Amino acid sequence: MTVQIRNGGDVDGTSGYLVLSTQEGKFLGEKTTEVIESNQDLSYSFSFTWPEGTSASLKVTWIVGSQNLVASNTFQSGAVVVEDEAYQPPWVGLFGGIVLAVVVVLGARIYHNRATDLASSSTKSKSNVSTKIRKKQTSTAEKIQIGCPECARQLRVPADYGGLVRCPDCSTRFEVTPRIEADEEEPGEEQDEEPVEVVDEENDGKKEIHCPECNQSLRIPSEYSGSVRCPACEEVFSA
């Protein structure tokens, strides 16, 4: 009897072995199977004493990895007729072997397709996790200097940031637009306020004064000594 196995999946299989027995569990033979590549057929022949009776129920088990693929069929026994000393092949056994091989091939296809789907799902999951991690990384774009529209405080924000900024001096919130194109945010994600850095202004030629009415911080040229209007309360006072 010949048993044919086929890997109908998209990935290579592993080695294993075939066990041929009767339905009652009588051992008839065993063959070691080689590594079977994708879309490859392999055939294995078994020689054994045909069981007694008018019919024989045979079972073949393909053990590969942690999977056991089983196929079975019942064959009618018949006497071999010899005519003119010419050998007549046992057609019943041959056709039965073909049917048995087809069943094993279908089982192998299901097994390998399942393994391929699991591998594809695992790869896709890893890809999604990697994408989310990359998008959560802090932007390393260069920072630019902007001025607060209320108190003229100089602040530094990333060049690719677009959104709300809060001045640490006067607590004014205002919009900034990105100077360079940033990566697209994932749908549904809200953009928080961007933390800003206060520019070191010790050597920028300006001095800091405070409004006598609301105590608002203002920066004016160091040599200026005229009148100043507070942008917060519009109080005019002498610098």
The string of pLDDT tens digits covering residues 123-164 is 555 555 555 545 544 445 688 888 888 877 888 888 888 888
Q: Name all contacts of 213-222 with Cβ < 8 Å and 24+ positions apart.
A: 213/237, 216/151, 216/170, 217/151, 217/153, 217/169, 217/170, 218/151, 218/152, 219/151, 219/152, 219/153
Indicate whether 157 and 210 sit together in one domain.
yes
Token pair belonging to 109:
């296809």
Residue with tokens 């005229």: 226
**Would 216 be classed as within a structural domain?**
yes
pLDDT of residue 167 exceeding 70: yes
Rounded distance, CA 229 to CA 239, Å?
Answer: 10
User: Domain range holding 99?
Assistant: 2-114
Amino acid identity of residue 225, one-letter, is S
**Would 90 be classed as within a structural domain?**
yes
Q: Which of 199, 217, 200, 201 is nearest to 209 (CA)?
A: 217
Indicate whether 15 and 106 sit together in one domain.
yes
Indicate whether 90 and 147 sit together in one domain.
no
What pLDDT is attached to residue 189?
A: 47
Indicate whether 103 and 157 sit together in one domain.
no
Q: Please tell me the total count of domains within the chain.
A: 2
Q: How confident is the model at residue 190 (pLDDT cuts 50, 70, 90)?
A: very low
Instruction: Tell me the sheet residues that pair with 60.
Output: 20, 71
Indicate whether 147 and 99 sit together in one domain.
no
| Least confident among 14-23, 38-47, 131-140, 212-221 | 131-140
Return the number of other C-beta atoms located less than 10 Å from residue 158's C-beta.
22
**Would 43 be classed as within a structural domain?**
yes
Please, what is the average pLDDT of the chain?
73
Q: Which of 51, 35, 46, 53 is nearest to 100 (CA)?
A: 46
Specify burial of residue 211 (Cβ count, 10 A radius: 0-12, 13-18, 19+): buried
Residue with tokens 């003119």: 84
Q: What is the mean pLDDT of residues 5-11?
A: 78
Q: Which of 114, 135, 166 is the last residue of a domain?
A: 114
The model scores a pTM over 0.75: no
Q: What does the pLDDT look like over 217-230, one tens digit per residue?
A: 777 888 888 888 88
Indicate whether 95 and 10 sit together in one domain.
yes
Specify burial of residue 32 (Cβ count, 10 A radius: 0-12, 13-18, 19+): exposed
Inter-CA distances, 226 with 162, 222, 237, 238, Å: 37, 11, 9, 6
